[in-house]
Chains A and B, each alone.
Chain A
Amino acid sequence: MSQSGQSSESVIEIRNLGKVYRDFWGRPKVKAVNALSLDVRKGEVFGLLGPNGSGKTTTLKLLLGLLFPSEGEIKILGKSAADVAKNERIGYLPEESYLYRFLNAYETLDFYGRLFDMPASVRKERSEKLLDQVKLAPQARHRQLKEYSKGMTRRIGVAQALINDPDLVMLDEPTSGLDPLGNRDMKDLILDLKKQGKTVLMCSHLLADVQDVCDRIAILYGGELKVMGRVDELLKAQDETQILSSKLTPEAIKEVEAVLKKHGANVLKVDQPTANLEDLFLKTVQESRDRPGHRTVKEGAKS
């Protein structure tokens, strides 16, 4: 077992994967993925990053069997990507929650539960549990999906991805289109899945979200793997040191700078740390819920 309790056993093994899109006559048009090799280990949250058109969604679809590789090999849970049996243990949240708009939430989960040959009682129990877990409002559960907002659709999309309690969950842009609250809930869910020992593979181009939840990441560009490794190791600035202390007086700051200069270090920045915008937003929303009507605008604040 490696750090963070993750196993070294690979759940996904990709070797020399390539995908070339061809035109009607079979001529190559675009090489979307080129010689990609990586492993996703059991129990980790793995982020596949890259700008638009980098091949991350194509890679995900190759893993799911929605596209066929032009070259290379894929093994998921020890089985080929083309093997339908592997789907018993995986869950997939598509980019846009492509669900059947004429079904309501219960019918949707019932339908997907049947695809796993689940008995009726199990389907019913899991549906209720999942709808509570994804925090879908009870009054919305009997409405057809075509009436749902983006956030609600995303929630039911997550629920269907988890209906079979999968060992491997693949999420394509999971926080796309969500408000900060929904974003937070999604990240909490991913961390919760990790705690349960599940493996999560997520594709995203929203870096802050990936940084908060992923153990390891791979960055793709132009269909090629550019960087792969643990988040904390990759983001660590190797040639700098950060010290966080309680508030210092200007005199104390001068003394600290003098000590650092004495040891040959350059002082790069002295500042008060700032919270991130997401935390401020969440804090404000929570306070508004707890104290309705209360305003926290500072006196004399200029716009």
Chain B
Amino acid sequence: MSFDAQPIVFSEALIAWLVTAGGLLLLILGVSFLSALSQGNSGLKMFSSEAGGVLSDLISLSPRRIWALSKLTFIEAYRRKALAVFVVFALLFMFAGWFMGGGDGDITNDQVKVYVSFVLRAISWLTLPMALVLSSFGIPEDIRVRSLHTVVTKPARRLEIVIGRVLGFALIGTLVLSVMSVVGWIWIVREIPAKAQEMLVCRVPVKGDLTFIDRNGVPAEKGINTGDIVDFRSYIEGATKARAIWTFSGVGENSLDAEGNLNLENQFFAFRSYKGDMNHQLLYDFQFRNPEKKISFTTNPMEMGEFRGVRNKVPRKLERPGDDKTYDLIKDFVTSKGTLTVEVSCIDREQYLGMARPDLFIRLPDRSFAAGYFKAVLGIELMMILVILISVCSSTFLKGPIAALLTFVLLILGGEDSHKFMDQLVTGRSKENTEVLDQQVKQLEAAYVEAMKMPEGNEKDTAVQAARKQLEVKRNKLQTIKDGFKGGGFFESIYRIYTHMNDTTELPEGNPAMTIMVKVDDRLTGFLWLCKQIIPRLATFNNMSEYVANGFDVPWDSALLPCVLITLGYLLPCILLGYFALRVRELESK
């Protein structure tokens, strides 16, 4: 896999949501109040009357009316042949097997990945457009043919209409998704030959924290970049002091398998600076180290498995030939805090071993493929609900085609690349002095090295952990600023293009026009930051399918929970915005 999702911190996410959603709500209320104020007493009277009406609507919500509206939506979508999407689905799956190989021959992990990816992607690409089209056109069509008039002239609140529509579309989408996912699962299981069924598992990895030591033995943020454009992985040089150090937490007897082995699985990459010995893969070893007891154990060299991964069954009883001392992996190398440190080094001289944090993990007993698969389907369901929320909300103030287009554009902008681009646009204007930050990083590195030299014990552990955290934060900040686009904001960029000024040249000082220009750009950058916060990060949802396709279980804290929170985070604002838009709108406006 080429991503490393971090566990979400709920409190930080909640604060970010409160700031964004709360800020927008205050902005809308403020603008409305000021607008009412400008109309004098009648405006204030109208504002207070509307506020009272909103409160009354919120209090008078009726589950029966909401259910009636959602049932209407469901029946309408069903009778409008929304289920015709199954025809496309059936056609795809009838003929897909012809093009995917398989059969009774040998099958690799990558082929299994193709099958699983195809099914999840097909389901996603069929259900999401269906949900988008249905939900974008629902309310606008109602308004256009005036059937909504017969609803709003009953005691149905606008809020109930919005909620009812969302629920109705979600129900029909869930029905479609459920049928497709079950059929898809059966198809995968039938297409994979019996002897390859064991590949249909969901591995449960326990990931550690990764740090590096460079070839001189100095702690480093990352390993070496051997020229890759994508710097997800970095490399350690063979036969030097360079190490990749994983620290696993929560290790104990329950981390061992039934045979009493610790399963350490890795998917390292290799970079060869010369051809080397073609009879074997690059060699590496593990060194288990307990800083509390000051003992270490190095395993025998092992061959890496390029493009396929290797599962090392490390026995609990560690012994070296010719050495009568034996160690207990759990009792001797797991610290009192339950951490296990594993250092990986490359043995082959002038060859490089590439790794990222997810590339070495403790493999716990596998979960069933079905469990992981249906978690990935849940990810698609959550994304579909998000699409429905955005579409229904935008359809309350836009016509159907425009609402569909807006939702589609937001989906495109929600991709990982777009968010990265927006991050660069927003942070590139940072006023932080990168030279000063560089100095600070160097000071923190020195502090880290000093902490490592302390006598072994709890004090050293605490100092090392604190130093490492501070170093990581500062390095991340510096890197983010360095990655940002230079050259200023909107108006400054236009100025630089017009005057042929490159982006590293400082603007003329003491010029009031320049000052105003920079200040205006800062406000626009703030607006861009707000837009970035509003646009959902959809890579989080897509990652769930990636986990399953690569044979991993979907983790709760770094995959499923973020998706649930993102969807919930959009639920209230979308419904409220849709409600307000429908409430202030004249339904019979010419």
A interface, CB within 8 angstroms of B: 21, 61, 64-68, 80, 82-85, 87-88, 90, 92, 94, 96, 98-100, 102-103, 107, 111-112, 114-117, 144, 160, 164
Please tell me if the beta carbons of A82 and B155 are within 8 angstroms of each other in the complex: no
User: Within the complex, which residue of A64, A98, A102 is in contact with B76, where a contact is CB–CB below 8 Å?
Assistant: A102
Asked if B48 lies at the interface with its beta carbon under 8 angstroms from chain A, I say: no
Given contacts A99-B147, A117-B65, contact A65 B152 (CB under 8 A): yes
| Residue contacts A-B, CB under 8 angstroms, 21 given | A21-B589, A61-B588, A66-B586, A67-B588, A80-B49, A83-B53, A84-B53, A84-B57, A84-B156, A87-B153, A87-B156, A98-B150, A99-B147, A107-B75, A115-B68, A115-B154, A115-B155, A115-B156, A116-B155, A117-B155, A160-B150
User: Is the Cβ of A114 less than 8 Å from the Cβ of B149?
Assistant: no
Q: Please pick, from A96, A102, A117, the residue contacting B64 in the complex, using a CB distance under 8 A.
A: A117
> Is residue B587 within 8 Å, beta carbon to beta carbon, of the partner chain?
yes
Closest 7 CB pairs of A and B: A114-B68, A98-B146, A115-B154, A102-B79, A66-B588, A92-B153, A87-B155
C-alpha spacing A64/B147, complex, angstroms? 14
A102/B150 in contact, CB under 8 A:
no
Choice from A21, A67, A90 contacting B153 with Cβ under 8 Å: A90
The contact of A66 among B53, B68, B79, B149, by CB within 8 Å, is B149
Q: Are A114 and B75 in contact (CB under 8 A)?
A: no
Identify the closest chain A residue to B52 (Cβ): A83
User: Given that A102-B80, A103-B75, A115-B156 are known contacts, is A82 also in contact with B150, CB under 8 Å in the complex?
Assistant: no
> Contact: A114 with B67, CB < 8 Å?
yes
Interface size on B, residues (CB 8 A): 33
Chain B's closest residue to A82 (CB) is B53
Q: CB-CB < 8 A to B500: which residues of A?
A: none
Closest to B63 in A: A117
Assuming the contacts A102-B79, A111-B72, A117-B64, asked whether A94 and B154 have C-beta atoms less than 8 A apart, the reply is: no
Please state if B53 and A21 are interface contacts (CB–CB under 8 Å): no
Q: Which residues of B contact A107 (CB under 8 A)?
A: 75
Q: Is the CB of B155 within 8 A of A84?
A: yes
- Whether B337 sits at the interface, judged by CB under 8 Å, is no
User: Taking the nearest CB of chain B, how far is it from the CB of A108, in angstroms?
Assistant: 9
Report A-chain residues with C-beta under 8 Å of the C-beta of B76: 100, 102
Which of A85, A98, A144 counts the most B-chain CB atoms under 10 A from its CB?
A: A98
Q: How far is the CA of A98 from the CA of B589 in the complex (A)?
A: 16
Expressed in whole angstroms, the Cα–Cα distance for A80 and B71 within the complex equals 30
Would you give the shortest CB distance from A88 to chain B, in whole angstroms? Answer: 5
Q: Are A82 and B49 in contact (CB under 8 A)?
A: yes
Determine whether the beta carbon of B145 is less than 8 Å from that of A98. Answer: yes
Q: Which of A96, A107, A117 has the most CB of B within 10 A?
A: A117
Is B67 a contact partner of A65 (Cβ separation < 8 A)? Answer: no
B182 at the interface (CB under 8 A from A): no
Most chain-B CB neighbours within 10 Å: which of A84, A96, A103, A112?
A: A84
- The answer to whether B153 touches A96, judged by C-beta atoms less than 8 angstroms apart, is no
Residue pair A94, B146 in contact (C-beta under 8 Å):
yes
Q: Is B62's CB within 8 Å of the partner chain A?
A: yes
Residues B154 and A87 in contact, CB atoms below 8 Å apart: yes
Q: How far is the CA of A160 from the CA of B151 in the complex (A)?
A: 10
Assess the A84–B150 pair: CB atoms within 8 A.
no
Task: Judge if B275 is at the interface, Cβ distance under 8 Å.
Answer: no
Residues on B with C-beta less than 8 A from A80 are 49
Q: Is B431 an interface residue (CB 8 A)?
A: no
- Please measure, in the bound complex, the distance between the C-alpha atom of A160 and the C-alpha atom of B157, giving whole angstroms: 18
Contact B155 A64 (CB under 8 A): no
Q: Which residues of B, 133-156, contact A by the 8 Å Cβ criterion?
A: 145-147, 149-156
A27 to chain B, nearest CB (A): 14
User: Which residues from A are CB-within-8-Å of B190?
Assistant: none
* CB–CB B72/A85 < 8 A: no
Residues 71-105 (chain B) with a chain A CB within 8 angstroms: 71-72, 75-76, 79-80
Set of chain B residues within 8 Å of A85, measured between Cβ atoms: 56, 60, 155
Partner of B147, one of A82, A83, A100, A144: A100
Residues of the B chain whose Cβ atoms lie less than 8 Å from the Cβ of A164: 154
Q: Known: A115-B68, A117-B65. Contact between A98 and B147, CB under 8 A?
A: yes
Write the chain B residue with the least CB distance to A80.
B49
Contact of B79 among A67, A68, A144 (CB under 8 A): A144
Residues of A within 8 A of B151 (CB): 115
Chain B residues, CB < 8 A from A92? 149-150, 153
Report the minimal beta-carbon distance from A122 to chain B, rounded to whole angstroms: 12
| Cβ proximity bits B241-253 to A, threshold 8 Å, 1 near / 0 not | 0000000000000
The verdict on B325 contacting chain A, using a C-beta distance below 8 Å, is no
Q: What 10 additional pairs, Cβ within 8 angstroms, besides A67-B586, A84-B60, A107-B75?
A: A66-B149, A66-B152, A84-B56, A87-B156, A92-B149, A94-B146, A100-B72, A102-B75, A111-B72, A117-B62
Taking CB atoms and an 8 Å cut-off, the chain B residues in 359-385 that contact chain A are: none
A98 to B590, CA, bound (A): 17
> B154 to chain A: which residues have CB within 8 Å?
87, 112, 115-116, 164
Report yes or no: B155 in contact with A88, Cβ–Cβ below 8 A: yes
The distance from the CB of A175 to the nearest CB of chain B, in whole angstroms, is 19
| Chain A residues positioned under 8 Å from B56 (CB to CB) | 84-85
Known: A98-B145, A103-B75. A112 touches B150 (CB 8 A): yes
Q: When chains A and B are docked, how far (Å) is the Cα of A82 from the Cα of B586?
A: 11
- Smallest Cβ-Cβ distance to B589: which chain A residue: A67
Contacts of B145 in A (CB 8 A): 98
A144 to B75, CA, bound (A): 12
Which residues from B are CB-within-8-Å of A160? Answer: 150
Report how far A115 CA is from B153 CA in the complex, Å: 10
- CB-CB under 8 A from A100, the residues of chain B are 72, 76, 147
CB distance from B562 to the nearest CB of A (A): 37
- Against A, the Cβ 8 Å flags (1 = close, 0 = not) of B33-49 are 00000000000000001
B residues less than 8 Å from A67 (CB atoms):
586, 588-589
Q: B146: which A residues are within 8 A, CB to CB?
A: 94, 96, 98
Min CB gap A23→B, angstroms: 10
Q: How far is the CB of A268 from chain B (nearest CB, A)?
A: 47
